[in-house]
Chain A
Protein backbone atom coordinates (compact mmCIF):
# COMPACT_ATOMS: atom_id res chain seq x y z
CA UNK A 1 0.00 0.00 0.00
CA UNK A 2 1.09 3.52 -0.74
CA UNK A 3 1.50 6.18 1.91
CA UNK A 4 1.78 9.94 1.50
CA UNK A 5 3.22 12.15 4.22
CA UNK A 6 2.92 15.91 4.51
CA UNK A 7 5.02 16.92 7.48
CA UNK A 8 3.87 20.54 7.71
CA UNK A 9 0.31 20.80 9.10
CA UNK A 10 0.33 24.60 8.80
CA UNK A 11 2.46 27.22 7.07
CA UNK A 12 2.28 30.92 6.43
CA UNK A 13 3.92 33.21 3.90
CA UNK A 14 3.96 36.92 3.20
CA UNK A 15 2.21 38.07 0.08
CA UNK A 16 4.57 38.13 -2.95
CA UNK A 17 7.06 35.81 -1.23
CA UNK A 18 7.90 32.19 -2.11
CA UNK A 19 6.90 29.15 -0.09
CA UNK A 20 7.63 25.45 -0.44
CA UNK A 21 5.32 22.68 0.78
CA UNK A 22 6.82 19.25 1.42
CA UNK A 23 5.52 15.83 0.50
CA UNK A 24 7.10 12.40 0.71
CA UNK A 25 5.62 9.09 -0.36
CA UNK A 26 6.35 5.44 -0.08
CA UNK A 27 5.76 2.96 -2.87
CA UNK A 28 7.28 -0.05 -4.55
CA UNK A 29 5.77 0.83 -7.91
CA UNK A 30 7.74 2.37 -10.76
CA UNK A 31 4.87 3.81 -12.81
CA UNK A 32 2.75 6.39 -11.03
CA UNK A 33 1.58 9.99 -10.95
CA UNK A 34 1.85 12.63 -8.27
CA UNK A 35 -0.53 15.52 -7.76
CA UNK A 36 -0.99 18.64 -5.72
CA UNK A 37 -4.61 19.63 -5.06
CA UNK A 38 -5.75 22.90 -3.55
CA UNK A 39 -8.84 23.20 -1.33
CA UNK A 40 -9.79 26.84 -0.62
CA UNK A 41 -12.34 27.80 2.05
CA UNK A 42 -15.11 26.97 -0.42
CA UNK A 43 -13.89 23.33 -0.06
CA UNK A 44 -13.84 22.78 -3.82
CA UNK A 45 -10.87 20.54 -4.68
CA UNK A 46 -8.83 22.02 -7.53
CA UNK A 47 -5.91 20.36 -9.29
CA UNK A 48 -2.83 22.57 -9.08
CA UNK A 49 -0.18 20.50 -10.80
CA UNK A 50 0.70 16.92 -11.67
CA UNK A 51 3.88 14.98 -12.38
CA UNK A 52 4.38 11.73 -14.25
CA UNK A 53 6.97 9.58 -12.50
CA UNK A 54 8.67 8.60 -15.76
CA UNK A 55 9.39 12.25 -16.62
CA UNK A 56 12.59 13.68 -15.20
CA UNK A 57 11.63 17.26 -15.93
CA UNK A 58 9.82 18.98 -13.09
CA UNK A 59 6.30 20.16 -13.88
CA UNK A 60 5.45 23.86 -13.80
CA UNK A 61 2.14 25.73 -14.01
CA UNK A 62 2.57 29.50 -13.94
CA UNK A 63 3.57 30.38 -10.34
CA UNK A 64 3.48 26.74 -9.22
CA UNK A 65 6.34 24.31 -9.71
CA UNK A 66 7.43 21.02 -8.21
CA UNK A 67 10.73 19.52 -7.16
CA UNK A 68 10.38 15.83 -7.93
CA UNK A 69 13.11 13.64 -6.48
CA UNK A 70 12.19 10.10 -7.49
CA UNK A 71 15.00 8.31 -5.67
CA UNK A 72 14.24 10.18 -2.47
CA UNK A 73 10.46 9.77 -3.03
CA UNK A 74 9.97 13.46 -2.50
CA UNK A 75 7.53 15.77 -4.28
CA UNK A 76 7.55 19.36 -2.98
CA UNK A 77 5.42 22.24 -4.27
CA UNK A 78 6.87 25.73 -4.69
CA UNK A 79 4.54 28.69 -4.91
CA UNK A 80 6.18 31.86 -6.18
CA UNK A 81 4.84 35.40 -5.79
CA UNK A 82 2.24 34.20 -3.28
CA UNK A 83 -1.19 35.77 -3.56
CA UNK A 84 -4.02 36.07 -1.06
CA UNK A 85 -6.04 33.67 -3.20
CA UNK A 86 -3.46 30.97 -2.55
CA UNK A 87 -4.73 30.68 1.02
CA UNK A 88 -6.04 27.10 1.18
CA UNK A 89 -5.42 23.53 2.24
CA UNK A 90 -2.97 21.81 -0.07
CA UNK A 91 -3.06 18.05 -0.51
CA UNK A 92 -0.37 15.90 -2.04
CA UNK A 93 -1.68 12.76 -3.75
CA UNK A 94 -0.17 9.59 -5.22
CA UNK A 95 -1.93 7.88 -8.11
CA UNK A 96 -1.39 4.45 -9.59
CA UNK A 97 -3.17 1.55 -11.25
CA UNK A 98 -3.77 -1.52 -9.16
CA UNK A 99 -6.21 -4.45 -9.33
CA UNK A 100 -7.76 -3.06 -12.50
CA UNK A 101 -8.56 0.34 -11.10
CA UNK A 102 -6.92 3.71 -10.69
CA UNK A 103 -6.80 5.16 -7.19
CA UNK A 104 -5.44 8.20 -5.41
CA UNK A 105 -3.88 8.18 -1.96
CA UNK A 106 -3.90 11.56 -0.24
CA UNK A 107 -1.72 13.09 2.42
CA UNK A 108 -3.32 14.80 5.41
CA UNK A 109 -2.78 18.25 3.98
CA UNK A 110 -0.96 21.50 4.71
CA UNK A 111 -2.91 24.59 5.63
CA UNK A 112 -1.30 27.58 3.91
CA UNK A 113 -2.08 31.13 4.96
CA UNK A 114 -0.92 34.06 2.82
CA UNK A 115 -0.47 37.16 4.94
CA UNK A 116 -1.02 40.61 3.41
Chain B
Protein backbone atom coordinates (compact mmCIF):
# COMPACT_ATOMS: atom_id res chain seq x y z
CA UNK B 1 0.00 0.00 0.00
CA UNK B 2 1.19 3.48 -0.81
CA UNK B 3 1.45 5.99 1.96
CA UNK B 4 3.53 7.99 4.40
CA UNK B 5 5.12 6.47 7.46
CA UNK B 6 6.51 8.30 10.46
CA UNK B 7 8.55 6.77 13.21
CA UNK B 8 8.58 6.50 16.08
CA UNK B 9 4.99 7.15 17.15
CA UNK B 10 6.15 8.37 20.57
CA UNK B 11 9.55 9.85 21.34
CA UNK B 12 11.03 11.04 24.59
CA UNK B 13 14.05 13.26 24.80
CA UNK B 14 16.11 14.72 27.58
CA UNK B 15 16.82 18.40 27.52
CA UNK B 16 19.96 19.25 25.58
CA UNK B 17 19.74 16.27 23.25
CA UNK B 18 19.15 16.33 19.52
CA UNK B 19 16.57 13.90 18.16
CA UNK B 20 15.62 12.88 14.62
CA UNK B 21 12.10 12.11 13.44
CA UNK B 22 11.71 9.86 10.44
CA UNK B 23 9.37 10.43 7.49
CA UNK B 24 9.21 8.10 4.50
CA UNK B 25 6.80 8.05 1.55
CA UNK B 26 6.32 5.61 -1.31
CA UNK B 27 3.84 7.75 -3.23
CA UNK B 28 6.51 9.08 -5.59
CA UNK B 29 5.65 12.60 -4.49
CA UNK B 30 8.07 15.41 -5.22
CA UNK B 31 7.20 17.71 -2.33
CA UNK B 32 7.44 16.96 1.38
CA UNK B 33 6.58 19.03 4.43
CA UNK B 34 7.01 19.09 8.20
CA UNK B 35 4.39 20.63 10.47
CA UNK B 36 4.21 21.17 14.18
CA UNK B 37 0.85 20.93 15.98
CA UNK B 38 0.25 22.42 19.42
CA UNK B 39 -3.09 22.54 21.25
CA UNK B 40 -5.16 25.44 19.97
CA UNK B 41 -2.56 26.40 17.34
CA UNK B 42 -3.49 24.39 14.29
CA UNK B 43 -0.62 23.26 12.07
CA UNK B 44 2.46 25.40 11.55
CA UNK B 45 4.99 24.80 8.80
CA UNK B 46 8.55 24.03 9.89
CA UNK B 47 10.35 23.09 6.65
CA UNK B 48 9.42 21.99 3.17
CA UNK B 49 11.19 20.47 0.19
CA UNK B 50 10.06 20.62 -3.41
CA UNK B 51 12.86 18.46 -4.80
CA UNK B 52 15.75 16.28 -3.72
CA UNK B 53 18.73 18.15 -2.22
CA UNK B 54 16.69 21.32 -1.79
CA UNK B 55 14.58 22.56 1.12
CA UNK B 56 13.21 25.82 2.46
CA UNK B 57 12.40 27.22 5.89
CA UNK B 58 8.79 27.54 6.90
CA UNK B 59 7.26 29.80 9.49
CA UNK B 60 8.89 28.25 12.57
CA UNK B 61 12.23 26.76 11.41
CA UNK B 62 14.37 27.96 14.32
CA UNK B 63 15.81 25.03 16.29
CA UNK B 64 15.06 22.50 13.54
CA UNK B 65 17.03 21.07 10.63
CA UNK B 66 16.17 18.76 7.72
CA UNK B 67 17.78 16.89 4.84
CA UNK B 68 16.42 15.56 1.54
CA UNK B 69 18.99 13.14 0.16
CA UNK B 70 16.37 10.81 -1.31
CA UNK B 71 12.97 11.51 -2.84
CA UNK B 72 11.33 9.11 -0.42
CA UNK B 73 12.80 10.45 2.80
CA UNK B 74 12.63 13.78 4.65
CA UNK B 75 13.94 13.44 8.23
CA UNK B 76 13.52 16.24 10.75
CA UNK B 77 16.08 16.89 13.50
CA UNK B 78 14.93 18.73 16.58
CA UNK B 79 18.03 20.34 18.02
CA UNK B 80 18.80 21.46 21.55
CA UNK B 81 18.32 25.02 20.30
CA UNK B 82 14.55 24.47 20.03
CA UNK B 83 13.23 26.06 23.22
CA UNK B 84 9.93 24.24 23.49
CA UNK B 85 10.07 21.05 21.43
CA UNK B 86 7.27 19.12 23.10
CA UNK B 87 4.59 18.84 20.40
CA UNK B 88 2.95 16.61 17.82
CA UNK B 89 4.86 16.53 14.51
CA UNK B 90 3.23 15.75 11.19
CA UNK B 91 4.93 14.97 7.89
CA UNK B 92 3.10 15.44 4.58
CA UNK B 93 3.77 15.04 0.89
CA UNK B 94 2.21 16.16 -2.36
CA UNK B 95 2.63 15.82 -6.12
CA UNK B 96 3.91 19.02 -7.63
CA UNK B 97 0.88 19.50 -9.83
CA UNK B 98 -1.63 18.50 -7.18
CA UNK B 99 -2.57 20.75 -4.34
CA UNK B 100 -3.65 18.06 -1.93
CA UNK B 101 -1.24 17.14 0.83
CA UNK B 102 -1.21 13.62 2.24
CA UNK B 103 -0.26 13.23 5.87
CA UNK B 104 1.60 10.64 7.91
CA UNK B 105 0.30 9.39 11.27
CA UNK B 106 2.52 11.77 13.27
CA UNK B 107 5.12 11.58 16.03
CA UNK B 108 4.49 12.79 19.54
CA UNK B 109 7.71 14.25 20.99
CA UNK B 110 8.01 14.84 24.71
CA UNK B 111 10.98 16.52 26.35
CA UNK B 112 11.60 15.24 29.85
Contact = CB atoms under 8 A, between A and B. Distances in A.
B43 A91 contact: yes
B103 A45 contact: yes
Nearest to A50: B100
Main secondary structure of the interface of A (DSSP, over half): strand
Interface of B: 31, 33, 40-45, 48, 50, 56, 58, 88, 90, 92, 94, 96, 99-103, 105-106
Nearest to A37: B103
Contacts of A9: 40
B42 A44 contact: no
Interface string A48-71: 001000000000000000000000
Interface residues of A, number: 21
B105 to A, nearest CB: 5
Contacts of A100: 50
A30 interface: no
Interface in A1-57: 9, 33, 35, 42-47, 50
